[in-house]
């Protein structure tokens, strides 16, 4: 079936853009007085990341931001979601301010605006200052004060021009992968780290929203959540229960407290350990009425009962074992998942706006005659967009769509192996090549007209 949609088929105020993150693209890891982040430290152990890759140079966006933003403009992209590096602004996480770091982000913001591109800033996209991690990081309740200082500074320095803000990026991932499984920075493991990290991240999420709103009254304030459609492996009661638990952990853990629904402790009894970290007023301080919620969907997960899996008694059945189409991340290509997640979040009636703040795919890209032909990525984006449009037509709330990502970049523990970009990056020369998927997205944003 062909792809017939055009941008004009969506509402006039539907938001289109691309997303990125500081550590994944900026490079310039130790320029001026920038302090190390947990990812700067994590990559030092070469065993933590595919082939020992690191983000020291990445896409060199620190020096090439004008080139990349001009390319966005050329490609009809008028909304750019990017994150701020906490340690580029506050090298130790609090206290001394780096004027060079502040000046850098002022230049990026100003150049976006000069190019008629709206900046959407993510305040925290996983690169916690290492100096704060040495004090316990997200497991230390003091992070509430550290985070508030950082957010206030960003609001005061950039809020006169930036009106679109996202507080946290995927708290389930940075707490789960970083503080329970140990496969992401800072590499901590176990419930003793995960449980307090969850609670403190939830408190910071709401506090960040209140702080931005108090200092930038006309701001549009959101936060973002990873989410995956959860399908039980069979209709057996144990598999159904396993899927329910996985859904509570992966899709409900961070959205429900902010809406006043509390943590999903009924499905996940292990979360009752959160009670020991609760203090008076925490329940109230978990709440914030966000202007929008960002959801980030790539795939679905099939879940079955697993007696040997501690706490959850559930495990994911890998896509590669299910004989389904997959991306380079071994994620199933399952377009209905994005419809299902839009539908699921629409059930939270308190959500005002819902924006797809990330969706995309990694496939093997080959440069041939100075071009990159990537029909699988183009097909992926089109099939997921079809589902977004279907949700819109069915009367579900969905107000924007951001592709992950603009350029190929450093993909965390997977290094530079999986390429998600609309634009190919030769990491040896830093040459950019707009892929065929990027050319398609550009035409789509221009209602079918080529550049």
Answer whether residue 451 is part of any domain.
no
**Two tokens, residue 281:** 């007023």
Taking CA atoms, 65 is separated from 25, 26, 34, in Å, by: 10, 9, 18
Answer whether residue 320 is part of any domain.
no
Answer whether residue 100 is part of any domain.
yes
Which residue spans within 297-374 are E strands per DSSP?
300-305, 314-317, 354-358, 367-368, 371-372
Answer whether residue 106 is part of any domain.
yes
Catalytic residue among 26, 170, 301, 340: 170
Place of tokens 């996940």: 268
Answer whether residue 121 is part of any domain.
yes
451 residues of the chain, pLDDT tens digit each: 578 899 999 999 999 999 999 999 999 999 999 999 999 999 999 999 999 999 999 999 999 999 999 999 999 999 999 999 999 999 999 999 999 999 999 999 999 999 999 999 999 999 999 999 999 999 999 999 999 999 999 999 999 999 999 999 999 999 999 999 999 999 999 999 999 999 999 999 999 999 999 999 999 999 999 999 999 999 999 999 999 999 999 999 999 999 999 999 999 999 999 999 999 999 999 999 999 999 999 999 999 999 999 999 999 999 999 999 999 999 999 999 999 999 999 999 999 999 999 999 999 999 999 999 999 999 999 999 999 999 999 999 999 999 999 999 999 999 999 999 999 999 999 999 999 999 999 999 998 777 5
Taking CA atoms, 446 is separated from 6, 8, 76, 450, in Å, by: 9, 9, 7, 7
pTM: 0.98
State which residues form the domain around 101.
Answer: 7-232+287-300+330-444
User: Is 276 annotated in the active site?
Assistant: no
Catalytic residue among 26, 332, 340, 358: 358
User: Is 267 annotated in the active site?
Assistant: no
Answer whether residue 24 is part of any domain.
yes
Residue 22 sits in a domain of what CATH number? 3.20.20.80
Q: If we measure between CA atoms, which residue out of 429, 252, 220, 219 comes closest to residue 341? A: 252
Answer whether residue 240 is part of any domain.
no
Distance CA(374)–CA(422), nearest Å, equals 9
Counting the structural domains of the chain, the total is 1
Answer whether residue 83 is part of any domain.
yes
């Amino acid at each position: 079936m062909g792809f017939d949609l055009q941008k004009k088929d969506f509402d006039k105020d539907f938001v289109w853009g691309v997303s990125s993150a500081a550590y994944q693209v900026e490079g310039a890891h130790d320029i001026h007085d920038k302090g190390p982040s947990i990812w700067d430290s994590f990559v030092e152990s070469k065993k933590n990341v595919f082939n020992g890759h690191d983000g020291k140079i990445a896409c060199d966006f620190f020096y090439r931001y004008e080139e990349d933003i001009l390319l966005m403009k050329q490609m009809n992209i008028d909304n750019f979601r990017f994150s701020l590096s906490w340690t580029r602004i506050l090298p130790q996480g609090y206290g001394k301010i780096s004027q060079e770091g502040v000046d850098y982000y002022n230049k990026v913001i100003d150049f976006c605006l000069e190019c008629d591109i709206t900046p959407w800033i993510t305040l925290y996209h996983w690169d916690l200052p290492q100096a704060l991690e040495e004090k316990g990081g997200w497991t230390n309740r003091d992070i509430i004060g550290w985070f508030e200082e950082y957010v206030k500074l960003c609001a005061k320095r950039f809020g006169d021009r930036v009106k679109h803000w996202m507080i946290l990026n995927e708290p389930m991932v940075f707490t789960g992968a970083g503080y329970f499984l140990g496969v992401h920075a800072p590499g901590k493991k176990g419930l003793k780290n995960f449980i307090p990290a969850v609670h403190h991240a939830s408190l910071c999420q709401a506090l960040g929203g209140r702080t931005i709103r108090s200092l930038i009254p006309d701001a549009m304030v959101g936060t973002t959540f990873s989410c995956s459609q959860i399908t039980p492996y069979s209709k057996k009661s144990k598999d159904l229960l396993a899927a329910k638990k996985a859904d509570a952990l992966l899709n409900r853990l961070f959205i429900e407290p902010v809406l006043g629904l509390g943590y999903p402790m009924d499905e996940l009894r292990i979360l009752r350990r959160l009670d020991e970290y609760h203090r008076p007023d925490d329940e109230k301080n978990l709440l914030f009425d966000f202007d929008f919620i960002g959801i980030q969907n790539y795939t679905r997960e099939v879940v079955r009962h697993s007696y040997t899996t501690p706490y959850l008694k559930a495990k994911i059945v890998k896509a590669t074992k299910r004989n389904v189409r997959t991306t380079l991340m071994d994620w199933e290509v399952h377009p209905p998942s994005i419809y299902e997640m839009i539908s699921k979040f629409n059930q939270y009636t308190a959500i005002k706006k819902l924006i797809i703040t990330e969706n995309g795919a990694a496939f093997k890209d080959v440069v041939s005659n100075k071009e990159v032909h990537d029909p699988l990525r183009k097909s992926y984006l089109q099939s997921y967009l079809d589902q977004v449009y279907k949700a819109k037509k069915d009367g579900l709330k969905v107000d924007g769509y951001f592709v992950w990502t603009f350029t190929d970049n450093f993909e965390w523990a997977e290094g530079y192996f999986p390429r998600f970009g609309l634009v190919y990056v030769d990491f040896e020369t830093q040459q950019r090549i707009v892929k065929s998927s990027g050319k398609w997205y550009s035409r789509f944003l221009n209602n079918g007209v080529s550049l």
